C-alpha cells in the first residue's frame, strides 16, 4: 500500500515538474534557443537600431525587450543587411525580424507580420543643393538615393510610369545604397539630389549632419505600417508575440515607446 502511495506521489511530482517547464508562455517551444529570442535587424539605422558602444539601442531593441519580458525570452540581436532579413528569417538564422520594416505584400508572401507602429518617409536634400522637393511628385527628373531593399524602389518606379512620364516629366533616377548613411554621403557629395528615408531616421541623419542636410518634405511621404516578422508556420511564436504586444498596449509600455520615438500607434 505504502509503495503504491509513494509511486503515485512520485508520478505527480514528475508531472508537476514537466508542466512547470512549459509554463513561461510556452516561449521555450517557440524559439530556437530556450529562454532567448534571436532578433534579426540591421544595426545601422537610428533611431530604430544602432550601436552605442557595445550596446544595441533604439526603438526596435526597446520593442524586443518589451515583448521579451512578457514571453520570458531575452533578445539576442543578429546584425544582418536589410535586404537579407526576410531570407534569413526563412532560413532559420533568427526567430523574428524587428527592423523598421514596412508590411508589404511581397514580404507577407514569405513571412507573417504583426503591425507594431506606423510612420512614413521624408525627403532629404543637401542644404546647399538648390532643390527642395516637398512631395513625391516633385521628385520627377531628380536623382534620388535610398537604402537597398526598401519598398520605395518600386514606389518610385511606379511614380515614374504612372505620374512623371504621362505628365511630360522625366522619370526618377533611383540609386540604391547598402545603408542609409551611405546614401547621405552621396547626397553630400552631390552624386544624388535627394534622399528618401523613413521619417525618424531622416530626422536623426539630418541632425547628425550639423545642418548640411535638411528635410524638405513638410508631410510624410508614402505612409505605411511597420511589421514584426515571424517565419511562416511558427504559429506559437506569432501568437505569443501578438499577445505580448497587446499586453504592452494595455499596461502603457507601448504608448510610452511610441511617444518617445515620435511614431504613430497601431490599434489594439
Q: Within 13 Å and on the Cβ side, how many CA atoms surround 251?
A: 11
- Alpha-carbon gap, residue 77 to 96, rounded angstroms: 10
Residue 169 three-state SS: coil
Question: pLDDT tens digits, residue range 3-44?
Answer: 333 344 434 444 433 433 444 444 444 899 999 999 999 998
How much is the average pLDDT of 87-110?
97
Question: pLDDT tens digits, residue range 109-129?
Answer: 999 999 999 999 999 999 999
- Alpha-carbon gap, residue 264 to 116, rounded angstroms: 9
What average pLDDT does the chain have? 90
* pLDDT for 193: 98
* pLDDT for 11: 45
Confidence of residue 1 (pLDDT cuts 50, 70, 90): very low
* pLDDT for 2: 38
| Bridge partners of residue 32, in order along the sequence | none
How much is the average pLDDT of 79-99?
97
* pLDDT for 30: 82
**Contact between 153 and 117 (Cβ < 8 Å):** no
Between the alpha carbon of residue 35 and those of residues 19, 89, 252, the distances in Å are 16, 19, 24
- Alpha-carbon gap, residue 227 to 86, rounded angstroms: 12
**Phi and psi of 217, rounded to 5°?**
-90, 125
* Residue 197 scores a pLDDT above 90: yes
Give percent of the chain with pLDDT exceeding 70: 89
Segment (H or E) for 118:
strand 111-126
Helix axes 59-71, 253-260, angle to 10 degrees: 170
Hey, what domains does the chain have and what are their CATH numbers? 2-119+224-260 (3.40.190.10), 120-223 (3.40.190.10)
Amino acid at each position: 500500500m505504502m509503495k503504491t502511495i509513494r509511486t503515485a506521489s512520485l508520478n505527480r511530482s514528475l508531472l508537476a515538474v514537466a508542466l512547470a517547464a512549459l509554463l513561461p508562455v510556452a516561449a521555450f517551444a517557440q524559439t530556437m534557443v530556450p529562454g532567448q529570442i534571436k532578433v534579426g535587424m540591421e544595426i545601422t539605422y537610428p533611431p530604430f537600431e544602432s550601436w552605442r558602444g557595445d550596446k544595441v539601442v533604439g526603438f526596435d531593441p526597446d520593442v524586443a525587450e518589451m515583448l521579451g519580458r512578457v514571453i520570458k525570452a531575452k533578445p539576442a540581436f543578429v546584425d544582418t543587411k536589410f535586404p537579407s532579413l526576410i531570407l534569413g528569417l526563412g532560413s532559420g538564422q533568427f526567430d523574428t525580424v524587428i527592423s523598421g520594416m514596412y508590411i508589404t505584400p511581397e514580404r507577407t508572401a514569405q513571412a507573417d507580420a504583426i503591425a507594431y507602429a506606423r510612420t512614413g518617409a521624408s525627403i532629404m536634400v543637401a542644404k546647399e543643393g538648390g532643390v527642395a522637393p516637398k512631395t513625391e511628385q516633385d521628385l520627377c527628373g531628380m536623382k534620388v538615393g535610398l537604402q537597398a531593399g526598401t519598398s520605395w524602389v518600386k514606389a518610385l518606379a511606379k511614380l515614374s510610369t504612372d505620374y512623371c512620364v504621362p505628365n511630360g516629366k522625366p522619370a526618377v533616377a533611383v540609386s540604391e545604397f547598402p545603408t542609409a548613411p551611405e546614401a547621405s554621403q552621396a547626397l553630400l557629395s552631390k552624386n544624388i539630389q535627394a534622399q528618401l528615408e523613413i521619417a525618424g531616421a531622416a530626422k536623426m541623419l539630418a541632425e547628425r549632419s550639423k545642418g548640411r542636410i535638411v528635410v524638405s518634405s513638410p508631410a510624410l511621404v508614402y505612409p505605411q505600417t511597420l511589421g514584426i516578422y515571424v517565419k511562416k508556420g511558427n504559429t506559437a511564436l506569432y501568437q505569443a508575440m501578438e499577445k505580448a504586444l497587446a499586453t504592452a498596449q494595455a499596461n502603457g509600455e507601448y504608448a510610452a515607446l511610441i511617444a518617445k520615438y515620435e511614431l504613430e500607434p497601431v490599434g489594439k
